[in-house]
Amino acid sequence: MTDTTGQRIVTLEIGGERRSFDIDDPHLPDWISDRALSSDGYPYDRKLDNDRYETELRQLQIELVKVQSWMQKSGERVIALFEGRDAAGKGGSIFAVRAYLNPRSARVVALPKPTETEAGQWYFQRYVQHFPTRGEIVLFDRSWYNRAVVEPVMGFCTPKQHRHFLNAAPVFEKLIVEDGIHFFKFWLNIGREMQLKRFHDRRHDPLKIWKLSPMDIASLDRWEDYGEKRDLMLKETHTPHAPWTVVRANDKRRARLNIIRHLLQSLDYEGKDAASIGEIDRRILDFGPKAFR
């Protein structure tokens, strides 16, 4: 909400206490900074050491280069979509996956608001035209799952459209998998205080302020509604052929490493080095609705 002075202030209930958060105040309140990493029951009390992160990330990115070479030879296709609340780390995770891949066959798709023409089409139509051809990997920075969470929360679709989507998505995705595409769905999950911290960081960093949209501000007091729609989405669209991979993303470093490990472990490519891939941290990465129990 916006107060009479024009400052963007929201009153939140955190841990049974009512708190006021002014995103325009350059000082981040202690109640946010102290709780950000541990929010939503995050299992670690500190971020992964950066030197360790960089070492492990390089090994995994070498494996990703092998994957791309294998795809070019075999014609295999990959779709990976990244979903999550605003500031969950979708873009950074995609960047870590794609950093050393040939951009000619590793594409990122981040679609804007639908045009009037697109709004009148079959809902999935504008996404299908971006699907991979032989040897391509396509990474969706948000996807058709806008209709599962963002659109119903913000009033951009009707309840009937929302329900129709939840029924149709598993059928649509079965067609994707049956056509031989390797298909991944990642939900990046963050706690409320971590989201507030990241919003605040964006607001006060001149290099990142473009990432903070009016939609982000409008979502501040809709946390519970987002959570309810997320839970319903996971319940209705987590299927054996297209499972949801849920990643605890309060620490971006751990999230990125485990996302890449899951991708690599799921693909049977030439020259696969299991030792370089390592083991997935099951405290960070889980599957489907049970991840929130």
Give the pLDDT of residue 220. 85
Q: Mind listing the domains of the chain with CATH numbers? A: 9-292 (3.40.50.300)
Is residue 214 scored above 90 in pLDDT? no
- Indicate the pLDDT class of residue 6, thresholds 50, 70 and 90: very low
Is residue 1 scored above 50 in pLDDT? no
Q: Check: pTM over 0.85? Answer yes or no.
A: yes
**3-state class (DSSP) for residue 186:** strand
Mean local confidence (pLDDT), 223-246: 97
For the stretch 13-42, pLDDT in tens is: 777 788 889 999 999 999 999 999 999 999
For the stretch 110-133, pLDDT in tens is: 999 999 999 999 999 999 999 999
Give the pLDDT of residue 7. 47
Instruction: Find, among 173, 194, 181, the residue nearest to 136 by Cα.
Output: 181
DSSP label at 2? B
Give the pLDDT of residue 3. 37
Is residue 5 scored above 90 in pLDDT? no
Angle at 158 between CA 157 and CA 161, to 5 degrees: 85
Is residue 237 scored above 60 in pLDDT? yes
Is residue 109 scored above 50 in pLDDT? yes
Only one residue has tokens 């995609």, namely: 94
For the beta sheet containing 244-248, the strands, ordered from the edge strand earlier in sequence to the opposite edge, are 106-109, 137-141, 78-84, 182-189, 244-248, 285-287
